[in-house]
Amino acid sequence: MSTRTVRGGLVVGVALVLVLAACGRSDKESGGGGATATSTAGTTKSASANFGTLKDVCQSGGGGGATATGITSDSIKIATFSDAGAVIRPGLNQELFDAADVFSKWCNTLGGINGRKIDVVKEDAALFNYPAKVADACQKNVFFIVGGGAAFDETGEKARLECLMPSVPGYVASPTARDGDIVVQPVPNPNTGMGYGQFRWLKQKYPDSVDHMGVLSADVPVTKTISDQTQEAAEALGFKTVYSDVYPAAGQVSWAPYVAGMKDKGVKGLVYTGEPEGLAALEQAMVEQSYQPEWITAQANLYDERLVKIGGNAIKNTYIVTSFTPFEDASSNPALQQYLDLFEKYLPNGKAKAALGVQGFSAWLLFAQAAKDCGAELTRLCVYDNLKKTHQWTGGGLHAQTDPGARTPSNCYALIEATSSGFKLAKITRTDGIYNCSPSNRYTFKKSYGKGVTLADVGKSVNDLK
């Protein structure tokens, strides 16, 4: 395999990391924040210590002593990871750094956390430097890792645990990190199960497709794992796979053979795992061969304006599963509008309209709530214990309800329909706002997809946290 192919594959794998995070990479409008001068309600809220339904997120106070690594009487040192410096994808996940900037500026303006200001240490893994950046964060005596993520996080998880750095990530990628110790995700994404409510809806809406499902994935390990998990979940509901294939991650010259294969097998519903550009080209190839499945479903990274811009009129019957309110509907979600308003105030040229940034911001909120409850005696163990006790979380209304403490997939989902004219919410049965919430929406895998690194693997235990 050529170096070009390997690196191309890695880029696709990086983008698919966002699928693992149950959120989209969406590069929609990298500047301006999307807020308007008329959004007075959001502007008023952004000046207070409340966020959405959360009260007194940040506050002044007496601080305290140097109670733990990374803690002084007036500061808390936090690391945020991203791959923004990646040569093969400049600016990759810059929104994680931007969300960290916005949250810390807003929080510090309000007094910090019990009087201690947040000191953000940005660790740019640039795809291939995650182990070195974990070591750097450890040497800098970072208290916690919050609101970030790295595509190749499996390469540094043992080092993170050896340094006893807990994490509240914006996203995790590898099985090693997904179920790693001293990690609490705002939107859990474990190796043990996933939400599959979209397939319950598709089965009801398109009953003729149940015996004619196709599966197509980029040929990258992380992508194939996601695809395999999704296929298992769909088949558990009775869907029958009649077509399964992978395409070169570095880019497909012609999608025609894949379309011909689907036509030959009679595929009526397609599970696609990959990047927006690939699906756009695939749907164009479908039009060229006068073929259209009843539905195509994809994970949240396909909520990306490039899908519509490239695919144009070819984009039809395409459904994207999400746990977040689309930016198109921000005016109906006070928390999301406040998030955009905070960007407008503190980082107006930042990458505001990126769903991964919203998920990173939820991680910051989760950390802040847990740290606040520790008072002046701020320690890693106290914060981690408080995080583990959090069993109902929406980021103040930013996303569907999750259970970070139990590390289980959400019972709730929403569907975004991609059309030639843009994105809109699909008409699913809604039980909580835009979401359909039910225990029946959650599936537990029967197969094994890997396991996380534990403290025991590095000769430590949670009792070593200070």
Question: pLDDT tens across 274-312, in order?
Answer: 889 999 999 999 999 999 999 999 988 899 889 999 999
Cα–Cα distance for residue pair 301/17, rounded to 1 Å: 9
Q: Return the beta strands (E) in 304-431 as ranges.
A: 318-322, 412-419, 422-425
Q: Which position has the token pair 């895998």?
A: 445
What is the predicted pLDDT for the residue at 253? 74
**Which pLDDT score is estimated for 222?**
80
Q: Is residue 395 part of a domain?
A: no
Instruction: Return the pLDDT at 47.
Output: 55
Residues 200, 346 within the same domain: no
What pLDDT is stored for residue 251 in this prediction?
64
Strands 436-437 and 422-425: unpaired
Cα angle for residues 190, 359, 111 (degrees, 5° grid):
125
Q: Are residues 78 and 175 in the same domain?
A: yes
Looking at residue 223, its pLDDT comes to 85
Model pLDDT, residue 41: 34
What does each C-alpha distance from 420 to 224, 303, 312, 423 come to in angstroms?
Answer: 28, 13, 5, 8
**Would residue 37 count as lying in a domain?**
yes
Residue linked to tokens 């080209």: 281
Instruction: State whether 424 and 312 are in the same domain.
Output: yes
Which CATH number fits the domain that encloses residue 305? 3.40.50.2300
103 located within any domain: yes
Query: Mean pLDDT per 10-residue run, the chain (466 residues)?
Result: 35 41 41 32 55 97 92 97 93 96 98 97 96 98 97 94 97 90 95 95 98 95 89 98 92 87 98 93 97 95 92 97 93 96 97 93 98 96 98 97 95 96 95 96 94 95 93
Residue 43 belongs to domain spanning: 31-187+327-388
* Res 314: pLDDT: 97
Look at residue 18 and tell me if it is in a domain.
no
Residues 242 and 215 in one domain: yes
**Are both 307 and 170 inside the same structural domain?**
no
What total of structural domains would you count in the chain?
2
Q: What is the pLDDT of residue 309?
A: 95
Phi-psi region of 332 (alpha: psi -120 to 50; beta: other; left: phi over 0): alpha
Statement to judge: residues 107 and 148 lie in one domain? yes
Looking only at the bridges linking them, the beta strands covering 442-444 and 167-168 are: unpaired
